[in-house]
């Protein structure tokens, strides 16, 4: 029997300093292909990817975190992925968990898996700023209430999606910024896709990339906007965000290959 194909998707901007450390920490054999989506970097990100021999698809200019995910997931589908695991290339999350996260999709029956930093209460111990922790808890509570869910954290960037999820969720029209992460969960919950969680330690350090306070306010307002749209939808004001017939990823791509996948990938 053929083993499920795992593609690691790395949306990144100016991650030359942390990319190699992240890639090296992914256990050998855990991924069939690693695809870096270079979102218009101005440093040596593409050169580092080339040295590492990983696939790299580049945006000619910075389009945003959500746009990078769209490109990455679309390419994962093209490469025949059974599961796509998003790993931030700034080494914020534990790449060593890729096999466990992927297995929850391939063998655990989940279409979406979230690596939660708060599942066992380790976010603050791992260095998450207190203001960010409080915002995380408040926003997660609002989203759970609006969407009828019981997730421990909506705002982790360490996730896995089954091939089915990437094919049925109407991702093409989602936002191109960080709010994409909340939109995709709203869609998955609305369609009844099974969502699992696994504990992941928080790991904050100087070289990692994170939303600062000002952009964080904008992000929080965007997340509340998603919760409001879901609530209105359930009250009868139908929203395209939750329309399963809205455009999918199969016709969407933003980038061009800088480093092609390895032969046989």
CA dihedral 66, 69, 70, 72 (to 10 degrees): 160
Among 176, 182, 92, 90, which residue's Cα sits nearest to residue 136?
A: 182
Residues 113-118, mean pLDDT to the nearest whole number: 94
Give the predicted TM-score (pTM) of the model.
Answer: 0.91
Query: Are the C-beta atoms of 77 and 172 separated by less than 8 Å?
Result: no
Q: 150-189 pLDDT, tens per residue?
A: 999 999 999 999 999 999 999 999 999 999 999 999 999 9
User: CATH number for the 6-244 domain, one of 3.40.190.10, 1.20.1080.10, 3.90.420.10, 3.90.550.10?
Assistant: 3.90.550.10
| Residue-level pLDDT at 205 | 58
Query: How wide is the angle at C-alpha 225 spanned by C-alphas 222 and 231, nearest 5°?
Result: 150
Using one digit for the tens of pLDDT, what is the confidence trace for 193-208?
A: 999 999 998 776 555 5
Q: How confident is the model at residue 50 (pLDDT cuts 50, 70, 90)?
A: very high
Name every residue whose Cβ is closer than 8 Å to that of residue 73 and which is 6 or more positions away in sequence.
9, 84, 161, 166, 171, 249
Handedness of CA 108, 65, 127, 52 (dihedral sign): positive
pLDDT of 206:
57
Cα–Cα distance measured from residue 23 to residue 27, given in angstroms and rounded to the nearest whole number: 9
Beta strand segments in 89-185, E: 112-116, 159-162
Q: Is 80 left (phi over 0), alpha (psi -120 to 50) or beta?
A: left
Cα gap 4→102, rounded to integer Å:
9
- Give the domain ranges of the chain: 6-244
Phi-psi category of residue 147: left, alpha or beta, with phi > 0 → left and psi -120 to 50 → alpha: alpha
In this structure, the number of other CB atoms found within 10 A of the CB of residue 47 comes to 15
């Amino acid at each position: 029997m053929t083993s499920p194909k795992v593609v690691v998707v790395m949306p990144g901007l100016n991650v030359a300093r942390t990319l190699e450390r992240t890639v090296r920490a992914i256990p050998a054999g855990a991924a069939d292909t690693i695809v870096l989506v270079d979102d218009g970097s101005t440093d040596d990100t593409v050169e580092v990817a080339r040295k590492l021999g990983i696939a790299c698809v580049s945006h000619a200019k910075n389009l945003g975190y959500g746009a990078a995910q769209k490109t990455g997931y679309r390419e994962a589908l093209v490469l025949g992925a059974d599961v796509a695991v998003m790993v931030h290339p700034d080494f914020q999350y534990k790449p060593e968990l890729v096999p466990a996260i992927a297995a929850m999709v391939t063998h655990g029956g989940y279409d979406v898996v979230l690596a939660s930093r708060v599942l066992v209460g380790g976010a603050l111990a791992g260095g998450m700023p207190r203001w960010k922790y409080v915002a995380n808890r408040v926003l997660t509570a609002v989203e759970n209430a609006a969407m009828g869910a019981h997730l421990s954290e909506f705002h982790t960037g360490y996730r896995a999606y089954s091939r089915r999820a990437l094919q049925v969720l109407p991702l093409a029209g989602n936002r191109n910024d960080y709010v994409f992460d909340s939109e995709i969960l709203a869609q998955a919950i609305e369609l009844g896709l099974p969502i699992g969680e696994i504990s992941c330690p928080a790991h904050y350090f100087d070289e990692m990339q994170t939303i600062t306070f000002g952009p964080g306010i904008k992000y929080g307002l965007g997340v509340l906007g998603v919760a409001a749209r879901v609530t209105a939808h359930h009250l009868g004001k139908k929203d395209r965000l939750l329309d399963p017939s809205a455009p999918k990823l199969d016709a969407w791509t933003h980038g061009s290959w800088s480093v092609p996948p390895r032969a046989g990938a």
